[in-house]
Amino acid sequence: MNLTSQSRFRHTPVLVDEVCALLINDLSGNYVDGTFGLGGHTKALSSLLNADATLIGIDQDKTALAQFTPSSLQQTLHLVCTNFENLDQVLIDLNIPQVHGILLDLGLNSFSLDDPERGFAFSLQGPLDMRFDQSSKLTAEIVVNDYSEQDIANVIYRYGEERNSRRIAHRIVEMRKDKRLTQSEELKLAVIKSVDPRFRTKSLARVFQAFRIEVNREMEVLAKVLDIAVQALVPGGRLAVISYHSLEDRMVKLHFRDLALDIPRQPGMRDEEIKIPLLKRISTKPIIASQEEAGSNPRARSAKLRVCERTNNAAE
């Protein structure tokens, strides 16, 4: 991205007051921002925490991390460029066995979305890339050109929940017979030619989302980090997850619900056999942006925040 576009760039963290209010439980604690992005939430947490608190920022996108000036915070900040699925190893390496709060603000940062070279936005022309981690091997170009028609349809249906998945997959396969598809414009064209013009924008958003999820293994790493994060919390520590589409939100909701389930006492059960659930849900309904925030920050409109708290259960 060139300097002119960088200087125009602004970023507003989503649901920032709600995240801070619900996540902070110890002003001198250790907090992980597992999706550091441009550091918006970390800066807000930092402004409320004591100077002896510790912040750990993780992001797999090194171009996002490079935008941040760490000296602007009063706390110690450890910035780590890795996938959040490696959270347990990050904490071992830092010698921080447990933390008081973990935030996951899923998806991609607006800096990368606005960069045509990353290929995330169907409104911009760029290469079929879509990798959060630019050192990883799988790109959207590989999915588009090397997956079978059936596999492409499955990706579009499963991760985009798009009804026209088969038609779009078929069109992609027809187009790639002539030449390898390398540009986001070509994927856009395949969608436009396959769907009713009235639903074009929604279908484009769904298809681009589907390819992004596949390229970055988003559902797989989310399932993994939810387990690791719960284990990394001190009793009373909290995990906050902001998701932007129904697949993610469903996974977070079910995960929290399952770990918060009380195992009912069976007749004849001894006290030591009664399991205390690992989690307490802070609310069963997701927290959404106020009308004011949704009006001023379009990204906040689809955001759903779910928060849970680690109980005193020392087992598992």
Ligand X SMILES: C[S@@+](CC[C@H](N)C(=O)[O-])C[C@H]1O[C@@H](n2cnc3c(N)ncnc32)[C@H](O)[C@@H]1O
CB 183 within 8 Å of CB 126: yes
Nearer to ligand X, 61 or 115 (CB): 61
Q: How far is the CB of 27 from ligand X (least distance, A)?
A: 21
Question: Tokens 């947490």 — which residue?
Answer: 45
Q: To the nearest whole angstrom, how small is the minimum distance from the Cβ of residue 278 to ligand X?
A: 22
For ligand X, the closer CB: 87 or 207: 87
Least Å distance, CB 109 to ligand X, is 4
* Tokens, residue 221: 């790493």
Q: Is 125:138 a contact under the CB 8 Å cutoff?
A: no
Nearest CB to ligand X, comparing residues 31 and 132 = 132
CA distance 291 to 198: 27
- The least CB distance from residue 192 to ligand X, in Å, is 27
64 vs 305, which CB is nearer to ligand X?
Answer: 64
Q: Which is nearer to ligand X, 30 or 194 (CB)?
A: 30
The residue among 83 and 194 lying less far from ligand X, judged by its C-beta, is: 83
Residues making contact with ligand X (CB under 6 A): 11, 13, 35, 37-41, 58-61, 64, 83-84, 105, 107-109, 132, 221
Residues paired with residue 102 on neighbouring β-strands, in sequence order: 32, 239
CB 200 to ligand X: min, Å: 25
Give bridge partners of residue 58 from the DSSP assignment.
Answer: 80
Q: How far apart are CA 204 and CA 160, in angstroms?
A: 9
> At closest approach, how far in Å is the CB of 299 from ligand X?
8
Q: Which is nearer to ligand X, 145 or 297 (CB)?
A: 297
Least gap, CB of 20 to ligand X (angstroms): 12
**In the bound complex, what is the minimum distance in angstroms from residue 103's beta carbon to ligand X?**
7
Nearer Cβ to ligand X (109/297): 109
